[in-house]
Amino acid sequence: MMSSIVNTIRTDLTAAGAPSGVKGAASGDNDAAQSLALCSIANISGLELIQSLHVEVQHILVSKSSTPNVRKKAALCLLRLVRTSPNLVAGREFAPHVAQLLQDRHLGVLTSTMSLLNGLAIQH
């Protein structure tokens, strides 16, 4: 059962990679699906779910194709995952990505990135 949940959430997270010509792949639909998937990951927080999907969350966070709202939710989701399992994010490998996110002009992305950075600093 848990593997089907993980696969469903993974499908929703990667839905943004679908070409825009695909039926039902409108940008708003993808944003909503990704946002709901990120909220589900953050709130369920099972160890199997965290280990399976934290890489996808990090990828969405640093992806240029993600909208600011999705990047904001990904940062907050990753913060919840780091609080649950502190050894998920290697600071040295992730630092350049955090620096890139701090250059974003969207206030929601900036505040959620700062919250993530603060959470990482407290954990390590």
pLDDT digits (tens, 9 = 90+) for 34-74: 999 999 889 987 788 888 888 899 999 999 899 999 999 99
Rg (CA), the chain: 14
Q: What is the pLDDT of residue 19?
A: 44
Q: How far apart are CA 46 and CA 124, in angstroms?
A: 22
Q: Assign 37 to helix, strand or coil.
A: helix
Work out the average pLDDT over 73-83.
Answer: 93
Q: What is the pLDDT of residue 16?
A: 56
Query: 12-43: string of b/e by CB count within 10 Å (b at 16+)?
Result: bbbbbeeeeeeeeeeeeebbebbbebbebbbe
